[in-house]
Amino acid sequence: MAKILHLFSTHRCRIDKEEVVIRRIALVFGISIAFVAAAFAEPAPTPNHITSRIPRHPVQSTAIAKVGYSKRRHILEIEFVNGAVYRYFDVPLSVYHELMSAESKARFYDSNIRKHYRSALVRQRQKQEPAGNSRAAAQDYGAAAQE
What's the pLDDT tens digit per position in 35-70? 777 777 765 554 556 777 899 999 999 999 999 999
Question: Mutual orientation of helices 136-144 and 105-112 as an angle, nearest 10°?
Answer: 30
Other CB atoms within a 10 A radius of the CB of residue 109 amount to: 24
Q: Which of 82-96, 108-122, 133-147 has the lowest average pLDDT?
A: 133-147
Query: Does the pLDDT value for residue 103 go beyond 60?
Result: yes
Q: What is the pTM of this model?
A: 0.58
Per-residue confidence (pLDDT) for residue 31, from 0 to 100: 87
Give the largest Cα separation in the chain, rounded: 92
User: Going by C-beta distance under 8 Å and a sequence separation of 6 or more, which residues neighbour residue 14?
Assistant: 2, 3, 4, 5
